């Protein structure tokens, strides 16, 4: 929200849709296209909301569609990946990380829990339990006043989803917005917020490629809310400056012979 619009890129590894007819039947243009369309059509609920400008990017594009210039202009990046995490180049991951730390928002969806960028920003394995059994998920709203929960009731249901279960190996979140109940007996913290550097990160659990989850109105509402919540408040480049004193220092005794120290410092910092 530091400009007059919010520039969003929906990124998708875009492999299941090409390889598997069952998935393609659900997301003919790729699930990034479905998510992007939903973002265009989901009205903002907060007063004075800025317009969204939506684009997409995929793994097979040069630099995965995330070159320096494009990423520099991006306010919020939405990330879906599953089977090709290892194909994402470390250079792009580092670039995305730098932009998040400067203030860009990042929305990580479902199997993106194992993406390089999510694990790099969080520092943990991000492991969990899982099961593909076409079972019911009920997503409970734990923080109804959180902007990401705006417009939802006390819960919403997805009739068929993959199960993810605790323990989810992530750092303690700043906020837990949703917790899921699964028909098969598990629970999962399925909407989690973190700040890293100046950027906001939201992880949202639902979205296995074999189900029409991103066609669900509640899921679309959550992603649209999350994009607005994660929009940058600032843009601050990393620096580690030597800073002159703001107050007069007391005279020193000279007890410490510090020959050569200053020169060395330059290397370390």
Least gap, CB of 140 to a second copy (angstroms): 5
Tell me which of 53, 67, 196, 215 binds a second copy, using CB under 8 A: 196
Residue 74 and residue 201 in contact, taking contact as beta carbons nearer than 8 Å = no
Cα separation of 269 and 259, whole Å? 18
Query: Using CB under 8 A as the criterion, what x/- string covers residues 121-160 for binding a second copy?
Result: xxxxx-xxxxxxxxxx-x-xxxxxxxx--x---x-----x
Between 62 and 244, CB nearer to a second copy: 244
Q: Quick one: 70 or 235, whose CB is closer to a second copy?
A: 235
Q: Is 62 in the site for a second copy (CB under 8 A)?
A: no
Q: Which residues contact 94 (CB under 8 A, 6 or more apart)?
A: none
Q: At 98, give phi and psi (nearest 5°).
A: -60, -40
Q: Decide whether 62 or 142 has the Cβ nearer to a second copy.
A: 142
List the one residue from 114, 203, 204, 214 that touches a second copy (CB under 8 A).
114
**Any bridge partners for residue 52, and if so which?**
6
Q: List 189's β-bridge partners, or say none.
A: 179
Residue 221 in contact with a second copy, rule: CB under 8 A: no
User: Considering beta carbons, is residue 70 or 196 the nearer one to a second copy?
Assistant: 196
Distance in angstroms (rounded) separating the CA atoms of residues 243 and 231: 31
The only residue of 37, 70, 197, 218 in contact with a second copy, by rule CB under 8 A: 197
The least distance separating a second copy from the CB of residue 128, rounded to whole angstroms, comes to: 6
Question: Burial, 185: exposed, middle or buried (Cβ in 10 Å; 0-12, 13-18, 19+)?
Answer: exposed
């Amino acid at each position: 929200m530091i400009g007059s619009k919010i520039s969003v890129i929906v990124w998708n590894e875009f492999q299941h849709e090409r390889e598997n007819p069952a998935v393609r039947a659900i997301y003919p243009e790729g699930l990034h296209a479905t998510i992007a369309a939903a973002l265009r059509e989901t009205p903002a609920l907060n007063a004075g909301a800025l317009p969204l400008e939506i684009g997409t990017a995929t793994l097979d594009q040069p630099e995965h569609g995330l070159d320096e210039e494009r990423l520099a202009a991006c306010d919020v990046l939405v990330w879906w990946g599953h089977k090709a995490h290892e194909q994402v180049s470390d250079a792009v991951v580092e670039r995305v990380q730098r932009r998040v730390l400067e203030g860009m928002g990042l929305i990580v969806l479902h199997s993106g829990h194992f993406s390089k960028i999510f694990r790099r920003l969080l520092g943990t394995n991000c492991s969990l339990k899982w099961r593909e059994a076409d079972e019911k998920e009920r997503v409970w709203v734990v923080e109804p006043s959180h902007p990401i929960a705006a417009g939802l009731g006390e819960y919403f249901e997805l009739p068929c989803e993959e199960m993810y279960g605790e323990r989810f190996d992530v750092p303690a979140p700043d906020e837990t917005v949703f917790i899921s109940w699964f028909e098969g007996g598990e629970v999962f913290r399925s909407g989690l917020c973190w700040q890293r550097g100046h950027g906001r990160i939201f992880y949202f659990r639902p979205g296995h490629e074999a189900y029409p989850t991103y066609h669900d109105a509640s899921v679309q509402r959550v992603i649209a809310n999350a994009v607005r919540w994660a929009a940058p408040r600032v843009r601050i480049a990393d620096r580690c400056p030597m800073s002159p004193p703001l107050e007069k220092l007391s005279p020193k005794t000279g007890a410490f012979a510090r020959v050569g120290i200053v020169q060395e410092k330059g290397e370390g910092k």
